[in-house]
């Protein structure tokens, strides 16, 4: 009798331990397929989420790397499960083109207060170039002529990112084709040339966004300034809040969200809840991006940045995991 009782107790204990393990690792046996852009400065926030998913028991596949438009299409066709680089306003067209709410869902707000816009060096701003519309004046446009054709050279947006649609639309809408060239290519190369020109005292006109390391070097309010636009006008008749601190920047004052497939979210309540509650301060992203710009750009460096962020935000991070585990019960 004693032996039977002991065996029963041992079995019950083993079952409870197994149940505890299952509750602690609700993603056990599930592989998650992320898709990201080939941009080093967007890896950090993804890897924080990858670590959280792994702590919940999920296996995380090597991310597929494609540009924003293709990234959304991969989600819409079921070739990936989630991304954490969806700009809520900027990428909404991509979201709709990829199936929208029928197959995808925007989950939570990972990063709030993301900005985009056109900027010039402070000397040019103080000289009277304060609105994109000012560049209709050929004399003012020529201040930013880098190649000798008399037109302003705008260091612009990579095709496929989404920002290029806004810029191309606004150049037409505001009647600026005759005085501005939209230079597109590898962004880091273009912006490196822009920074070098500022350092030699030349005028510059460029597009950028936050969070990103560029605004730690070309600092709005110090050596550069955001331009206003004549009025709000976005592609396809879209509407959004484009004013920040009293200035109409022309781009949606945005947030960066997670987009996942409906199928994945329905099958994985723990991951769904993680995506809902996870939030990262935009200044933390910019600070990490500056480390990359300063040479800490290897995969091991980024893993170290992720580990440091988790330790510095341990209570917040553990709360994410607790909420995810509770959702799976």
Give the span between the Cα atoms of 145 and 135, in whole angstroms. 11
DSSP 328: H
Give pLDDT tens digits for 88-98: 999 999 999 99
Q: What's the mean per-residue pLDDT of the chain?
A: 93
Position of tokens 């301060």? Answer: 281
Give residue 41's pLDDT: 92
3-state secondary structure (DSSP) of residue 249: coil
Give yes or no for a contact between 289 and 211, defined as CB atoms under 8 angstroms apart: yes
pLDDT of res. 16: 43
What average pLDDT does the segment 161-173 reach?
96
pLDDT band at 52 (very low <50, low <70, confident <90, very high): very high
Is the per-residue pLDDT at 129 higher than 50? yes
Q: Which helix (H) or strand (E) holds 81?
A: none
- Per-residue pLDDT averaged across 14-41, rounded? 81
pLDDT tens profile 73-86:
999 999 999 999 99
pLDDT, residue 34, reads 98
Q: What is the mean pLDDT of residues 301-316?
A: 98
pLDDT at 154 > cutoff 90: yes
pLDDT band at 21 (very low <50, low <70, confident <90, very high): low
pLDDT of residue 246 exceeding 90, the answer is yes
d(CA 84, CA 259): 7
In this predicted structure, the answer to whether residue 18 has a pLDDT above a threshold of 70 is: no
């Amino acid at each position: 009798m004693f032996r039977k009782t002991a065996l029963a107790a041992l079995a019950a204990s083993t079952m409870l331990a197994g149940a505890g393990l299952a509750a602690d690792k609700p993603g056990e046996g599930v592989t998650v397929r992320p898709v990201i852009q080939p941009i080093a400065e967007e890896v950090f926030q993804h890897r924080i989420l990858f670590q959280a998913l792994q702590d919940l028991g999920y296996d995380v596949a090597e991310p597929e790397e494609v540009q924003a438009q293709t990234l959304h299409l991969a989600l819409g066709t079921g070739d990936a499960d989630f991304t954490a680089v969806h700009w809520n306003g900027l990428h909404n067209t991509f979201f709709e083109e990829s199936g929208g709410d029928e197959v995808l869902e925007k989950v939570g707000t990972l990063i709030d207060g993301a900005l985009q816009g056109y900027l010039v060096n402070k000397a040019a701003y103080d000289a009277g170039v304060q609105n994109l519309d000012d560049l209709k004046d050929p004399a003012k446009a020529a201040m930013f002529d880098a190649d000798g054709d008399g037109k302003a050279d705008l260091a612009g947006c990579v095709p496929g990112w989404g920002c290029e649609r806004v810029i191309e639309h606004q150049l037409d809408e505001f009647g600026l084709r005759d005085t501005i060239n939209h230079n597109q290519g590898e962004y880091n190369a273009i912006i490196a040339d822009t920074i070098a020109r500022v350092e030699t005292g030349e005028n510059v006109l460029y597009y950028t966004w936050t969070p990103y390391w560029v605004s730690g070097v070309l600092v709005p309010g110090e050596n550069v300034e955001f331009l206003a636009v004549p009025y709000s006008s976005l592609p396809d008749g879209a509407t959004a809040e484009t004013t920040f601190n009293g200035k109409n920047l022309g781009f949606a004052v945005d947030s960066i969200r997670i987009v996942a497939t409906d199928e994945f979210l329905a099958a994985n309540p723990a991951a769904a809840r993680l995506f809902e509650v996870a939030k990262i301060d935009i200044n933390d992203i910019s600070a990490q991006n500056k480390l990359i710009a300063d040479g800490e750009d290897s995969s091991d460096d980024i893993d170290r940045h992720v580990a440091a962020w988790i330790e510095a935000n341990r209570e917040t991070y553990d709360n994410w995991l607790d909420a995810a585990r509770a959702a799976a019960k």
